[in-house]
Amino acid sequence: MIAFRNFALRRGERLLLSDVDLAMHAGWRVGVVGRNGTGKSSLFATIRGEVEPDRGDVDVPGRVRIASVAQETPSLPDAAIEFVLGGDVELAAVIRAEADANAREDWEAVAAAHQRLAELNGYDAEARAGKLLHGLGFPAETHRRPVSSFSGGWRVRLNLARALMMPSDLLLLDEPTNHLDLDAVLWLEQWLLKYPGTLLLISHDREFLDGVCTHTLHLNDGKAKLYVGDYTAFERQRAEHLRQQQIAHEKEQAERAHLQKFIDRFKAKASKARQAQSRMKRLAKLAGTEAVRAEREFRIEFPQPAKLPHALLRINDGECGYVLSPRSGDGTRGADGGNGAGTGGGMVRILSNVGFGLEAGDRIGLLGPNGAGKSTLVKTLVGELPLLEGERYAHPDLRIGYFAQHTVESLVAGTSPIDHLRELSPDSPTQAFRDFLGKWYFPGDRAFESIDGFSGGERARLALALIAWKQPNVLLLDEPTNHLDLDMREALAEALSDFDGAIVLVSHDRHLIGLVSDSFWRVSDGVVKPFDGDLDEYAAWLRSRPSNEQARAPAMPKAVEAPPAPAKPAARVNPHRLGKAEARVAELEDALAEVASALADPDTYADGAKAAALGQRQARLQAQLEEAESELLALYG
C-alpha cells in the first residue's frame, strides 16, 4: 500500500499539491491524470524517493521493488536484448557470474550460478526479454544489434522494455505510449492487464487509460482526489460531484441570504433579539461550500479553406522511398525504418504499387507498425520525398498543412509566436497576429514571449497554430498529440471534426484517430491497402495474428544510414537443405530444454562433477544453436 498523509509538494515557489490524504492498495492500476503542470511527474519522483515532500509523509513499504522507465539511454555497445535483460539486476549479475566462472573453469561456481538461475527462473529470461522486444516492435534480427545503433525513439522503447523486464511490485509509467505506434500500444495494454503488481500510470491517452486502469487519481488546483474506475468512469463521477457541489452551494447561498435578511430586519427589535441571535449562530456554522469554478475549456479551430477543389491529391502506381547520397556502407533501410529493398543507384524502396488519393472531405487514418512506411507515405504526399516511380498529381489550388514528428523540435529557439507568424506572412499587421494567437491561447504578452520557456504542449499548440494560419485544404498529421494533454487532444479532435478539407492522420491515440477518421488504410509489408473495419476490429485482428508474423516485421532504422548494396536476385531455397536446417534447430532446442530441466533440479548439485558437465554441455549446445539459427536464416535470406 502507498499512503499519502497531510502531503504537500512545491516546485520552487509554486505549490503543486497540498493536504493530500489518500491510500492506494496492492494490485490497483491507477491512472494519474491532470493538466500539464499539476505535479504528476513530481509525484512519481517523490514515490521514488528523489524528491522530499514539503510537508507530510509518503509511506511506501521498504521491501517494495519499484520499476520505472529511465529518461535517457546511454549510447552503449551492448546488444539490445542484453540491455533489456539488464533490467533484472539480480539475474544479470548471476549471468555475468556464470560467464566469469566458465571462463576460469571454476565448475563449482558454475554449478552455484546454475542453481541460482533456476531459483530466479533465469533459463527463460532471454525468451521473456525477446517477447518484450517483439511486442514493442523490434524484429528478431534487431535483438543483437548494439543499443548505440538505434535512434532516440527506439531507445525510449528499449528503456520501456528494460523497465518491464525488472521484477517489481510497483511499476511507475510516465507517458509510456508517446513513442509507440498503435500496434505496440495495443500490445502494452494487454501486457499491463496481466501485470500482478501495483501500477501508477501517467497518460493523456484516454482509450489506453480506459483499457488498463481500475482507479483514477485526479490532480487539480493543488488537490488530489482518488476515484474508483477508469477514465470514463472518473469523468462521469467528477461531473456528478461538481453538479452536486454547485447545487449545495446555491442552496447554502439562498439560506445565507434568508438568514441575513432576518438578522438585518429584526436584530434591533428586543422582541426578536433572541431569534436574530440564533440565526446569527446558524449563519456562522454554515459550511461555506465553494461554487464550482469552471475549468477553462480549450477550443481551437482550423479556418475553412479559401478554395476546396474536389480532387486534391493523388499517387498513381507509386514507388515510395529514398534516394541516398553515395557513401560507403551497406545499410539498406529507409529513414523511417521501412524494409529497404535496394534498387541499385542509391535507392531505398519502401512502398510499392501505391494507389492513394485524397478528395475533399476524406478523413483517412493510417494504421501499421512503426517502420512500415507510414511516414514515408505522408512525406511523399507532401512532396518532401519525390516518387522513385509513378505519378503524383496535385491540384493547382492544393494547400497542405503538414505536422511531422519533428515539427515541434523545428520551432526556432529564442523567438516568439509572433516572430514565427511574421516569418510566414511578413506583410500582415501585428494586430492580426495577436488576434489569431489569442484564439490559440497565446493571449496578450504571451504572444511576444520566447518559446524557450514554453512547455512541450505549448510548443505543439503553436506548431498547430502555424499550420492553421496557412488555411490549408489538406491536413497531413503525423503523431500530432505526443506533447498534448487530454483537454488539448479533445480540442484537436473537435477542430479536425469541423474541418471541411481532407485529412490523413497517423496517431497512436485511438480516441483521436477513432473520432476523426472515416476510413482506415494499413501500411505494412511494403504495400498500402484499405483496412475493412474499425479500430476495435483492427485490435482483434492484431491479436489473432500468428506469432510467426514477427519474421515479416519491418526492419529497424539504423542510427546512420548508408546506401544499399546492389540488389541480389532472389535465390531458390533447396527444400531438402531447408528441412535439414529446421530439424537441426529443433533438435538443439530440445537438447537445451533437457539440460535446462536437469539444471533446474536441486538434486543435480549433489554431484558437483555432474552439474559442471551439464553446465559445459549447455554452453556448447547454446553455441551450436546460434550457429544453426544463423545457417537457417541464411537459407531463408
For 242-253, the pLDDT digits (tens) are 777 677 767 777
Q: 104 pLDDT band (50/70/90 cuts)?
A: confident
The alpha-helical segments, DSSP class H, found in 346-485 are 374-382, 417-424, 430-439, 456-469
Mean pLDDT of the 236-261 span: 75
Exposed / middle / buried, residue 409 (Cβ in 10 Å: 0-12, 13-18, 19+)? exposed
What is the structure's pLDDT at 557? 43
537 vs 554: which has the higher pLDDT: 537
One-letter amino acid for residue 573 of the chain: V
What is the structure's pLDDT at 328? 37
Q: Which range (185-199, 234-248, 439-453) has the least confidence?
A: 234-248
Supply 579's cell numbers: 528441412
The percentage of the chain sitting over the pLDDT mark of 90, rounded to a whole number, equals: 35
Task: Check whether 569 has a pLDDT greater than 70.
Answer: no
Alpha-carbon distance 407 to 420, whole Å? 13
What is the structure's pLDDT at 126? 82
The percentage of the chain sitting over the pLDDT mark of 70, rounded to a whole number, equals: 82
Residue 303 DSSP label: P
- Specify the 3-state DSSP secondary structure of 124: helix
What is the structure's pLDDT at 376? 92
Query: Where is mean pLDDT largest: 40-44, 69-73, 258-262, 467-471?
Result: 467-471
What is the structure's pLDDT at 550? 43
Which residues, in sequence order, are CB contacts of 229 under 8 Å at separation 6+?
A: 213, 214, 215, 216, 237
453 vs 551: which has the higher pLDDT: 453
Alpha-carbon distance 404 to 407, whole Å? 5
Q: Which range (86-100, 430-444, 448-462, 543-557) has the least confidence?
A: 543-557
Query: Phi/psi at 332 (nearest 5 deg)?
Result: -130, 20
Mean pLDDT of the 222-250 span: 83
Q: Which range (47-51, 70-74, 100-104, 340-344) has the least confidence?
A: 340-344
Mean pLDDT of the 318-328 span: 73
What is the structure's pLDDT at 600? 59
The alpha-helical segments, DSSP class H, found in 425-532 are 430-439, 456-469, 486-498, 510-516
Residues 625, 631, 635, 637: what is their CA dihedral angle, to the nearest 10 degrees? 100
One-letter amino acid for residue 78 of the chain: D
Average pLDDT, the chain: 81
Q: Which range (60-69, 327-336, 458-467) has the least confidence?
A: 327-336
Beta strands 502-506 and 474-478, pairing class: parallel
Task: Check whether 614 has a pLDDT greater than 90.
Answer: no
What is the structure's pLDDT at 237? 87
Mean pLDDT of the 479-500 span: 89
What is the structure's pLDDT at 339? 38
Q: Which range (102-106, 128-132, 164-168, 518-522) has the least confidence?
A: 102-106
177 vs 608: which has the higher pLDDT: 177
Q: Which among 314, 304, 310 is positioned nearest to 359, based on CA atoms?
A: 310
What is the structure's pLDDT at 570? 38
Task: Check whether 296 has a pLDDT greater than 90.
Answer: no
Q: Which range (239-253, 462-476, 569-583) has the least confidence?
A: 569-583
What is the structure's pLDDT at 336? 43
Q: In what order do the strands lie in the sheet with 389-394?
A: 341-342, 347-359, 311-323, 389-394
419 vs 255: which has the higher pLDDT: 419
Supply 498's cell numbers: 469541423
Task: Check whether 261 has a pLDDT greater than 80.
Answer: no
Asked if 157 contacts 139 with a C-beta cutoff of 8 angstroms, the reply is no
Instruction: Provide the sign of the torsion angle of the four alpha carbons 601, 602, 603, 606, taken in this order.
Output: positive
Alpha-carbon distance 53 to 515, whole Å? 40
What is the structure's pLDDT at 629? 67
What is the structure's pLDDT at 395? 94
Task: Check whether 460 has a pLDDT greater than 50.
Answer: yes
Residue 265 DSSP label: H
Angle formed at CA 634 by CA 523 and CA 542, multiple of 5 degrees: 30
pTM over 0.85: no
Supply 158's cell numbers: 528499449
Mean pLDDT of the 314-342 span: 59
One-letter amino acid for residue 96 of the chain: R
Alpha-carbon distance 172 to 164, whole Å? 10
Asked if 1 contacts 226 with a C-beta cutoff of 8 angstroms, the reply is no
Q: 565 pLDDT band (50/70/90 cuts)?
A: very low
Mean pLDDT of the 448-477 span: 91
The helix or strand, by DSSP H or E, that contains position 358, with its residue range, turns out to be: strand 347-359
591 vs 319: which has the higher pLDDT: 319
What is the structure's pLDDT at 560? 35
591 vs 136: which has the higher pLDDT: 136
One-letter amino acid for residue 517 of the chain: S
Task: Check whether 636 has a pLDDT greater than 60.
Answer: no
509 vs 332: which has the higher pLDDT: 509
Task: Check whether 389 has a pLDDT greater than 90.
Answer: yes
Q: Which range (3-7, 195-199, 331-335, 452-456) has the least confidence?
A: 331-335
187 vs 327: which has the higher pLDDT: 187
What is the structure's pLDDT at 576? 58
